[in-house]
């Protein structure tokens, strides 16, 4: 049976420790985090070891990601973030880094200059036994180019983001294009409105998760079924009326439903 996981945010209104305790008690197997806050990553890693949870992904920052492909004053920001992500992943036993390749619809395509930078990132990660999963955003061409350059024998794979597919891709489905390259998932719901990326729990929006589960089954996706949710935090009205136990139980029920359907 596939593992199921959920993201953790240091600003979650329940408190990180309470949330991790509930994640483990409810039945989740795995977690992931975003960003480069080493103190937070260290703490999550320690708590995961104590609770028997797998720390599956570290999501690299996407600040200035478009500049990776260009000759601009900010062209080194994304690459520096990539290298730091690799160092942290290696230090704390996190096997996969998730990365965007672009931001917004007017993003640049893959360039020779950017490819050289990305190659440095890939090689640096490979030396530390870290895999890279490129996540679908708006531009198919960037993902297809990178996955063609770095074939299945490399440490580069695909992160299938179900929610992004339904609000950014104008009906395009990504998993059938790269089924053999999928090494990570981001699962969340939205109301399928273009450019409205809501990151709510499955079955709270309009995505057909029966179809999602069918694709998981059809292509034998064995990576963790990982929720990527806009967690309750100060100033947010999402799930603010739920206790940590109620929210975690609701989240687990949603992803476990997808898991069960995908098994048959």
pLDDT digits 0-9 by tens, 85-106? 999 999 999 999 999 999 998 9
> Where are the domains positioned within the chain?
4-262
* Cβ partners under 8 Å of residue 15, min gap 6: 244
What pLDDT is recorded for position 208? 98
Q: With 90 as the cut, is the pLDDT of residue 264 above it?
A: no
CATH number for the region 4-262 comes to: 3.20.20.150
* Cβ partners under 8 Å of residue 97, min gap 6: 57, 58, 59, 60, 82, 85, 86, 89, 125, 130, 131, 132, 133
What pLDDT is recorded for position 235? 83
Mean pLDDT of 117-134: 98
**149-169 pLDDT tens trace:** 999 999 999 999 999 999 999
Q: With 90 as the cut, is the pLDDT of residue 234 above it?
A: no
What pLDDT is recorded for position 84? 98
Main-chain dihedrals φ then ψ at residue 157, nearest 5 degrees: -140, -165
Residue 20 near residue 31, CB atoms below 8 Å: yes
Residue 162 near residue 137, CB atoms below 8 Å: no
What pLDDT is recorded for position 134? 98
Euclidean distance between CA atoms 40 and 31, whole angstroms? 13
Q: Given pLDDT bands bounded at 50, 70 and 90, which one contains residue 180?
A: very high
Q: Given pLDDT bands bounded at 50, 70 and 90, which one contains residue 237?
A: confident
What pLDDT is recorded for position 127? 98
Euclidean distance between CA atoms 48 and 37, whole angstroms? 16
**61-81 pLDDT tens trace:** 999 999 999 999 999 999 999
Q: With 90 as the cut, is the pLDDT of residue 236 above it?
A: no
Euclidean distance between CA atoms 41 and 30, whole angstroms? 14
Distant-in-sequence contacts of 220-224, Cβ < 8 A, 24+ apart:
221/2, 221/160, 221/175, 221/179, 221/182, 221/185, 221/262, 222/2, 223/2, 223/182, 223/183, 223/184, 223/185, 224/2, 224/3, 224/4, 224/5, 224/29, 224/30, 224/54, 224/56, 224/184, 224/185
């Amino acid at each position: 049976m596939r593992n199921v996981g959920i993201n953790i945010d240091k600003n979650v209104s329940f408190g990180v420790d309470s949330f991790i305790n509930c994640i483990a008690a409810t039945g989740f197997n795995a977690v992931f985090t975003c960003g480069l806050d080493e103190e937070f990553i260290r703490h999550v890693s320690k708590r995961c070891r104590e609770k028997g949870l797998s720390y599956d992904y570290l999501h690299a920052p996407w600040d200035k990601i478009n500049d990776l492909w260009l000759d601009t004053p900010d062209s080194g920001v994304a690459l520096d973030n990539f290298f730091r992500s690799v160092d942290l992943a290696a230090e704390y036993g996190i096997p996969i880094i998730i990365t965007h390749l672009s931001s917004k619809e007017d993003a640049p395509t893959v360039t020779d200059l950017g490819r050289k930078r990305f190659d440095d990132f890939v090689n640096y990660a490979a030396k530390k036994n870290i895999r890279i999963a490129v996540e679908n955003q708006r531009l198919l061409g960037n993902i297809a180019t990178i996955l063609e350059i770095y074939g299945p024998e490399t440490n580069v794979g695909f992160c299938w983001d179900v929610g992004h597919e339904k609000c950014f891709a104008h009906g395009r489905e990504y998993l059938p294009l790269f089924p053999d390259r999928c090494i990570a998932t981001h699962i969340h719901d939205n109301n399928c409105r273009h450019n409205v990326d809501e990151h709510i729990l499955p079955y709270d929006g309009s995505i057909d998760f029966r179809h999602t589960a069918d694709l998981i089954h059809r292509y034998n996706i064995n990576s963790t079924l990982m929720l990527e949710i806009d967690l309750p935090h100060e100033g947010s009205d999402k799930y603010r009326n739920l206790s940590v136990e109620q929210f975690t139980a609701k989240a687990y029920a949603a992803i476990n439903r997808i898991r069960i359907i995908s098994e048959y």
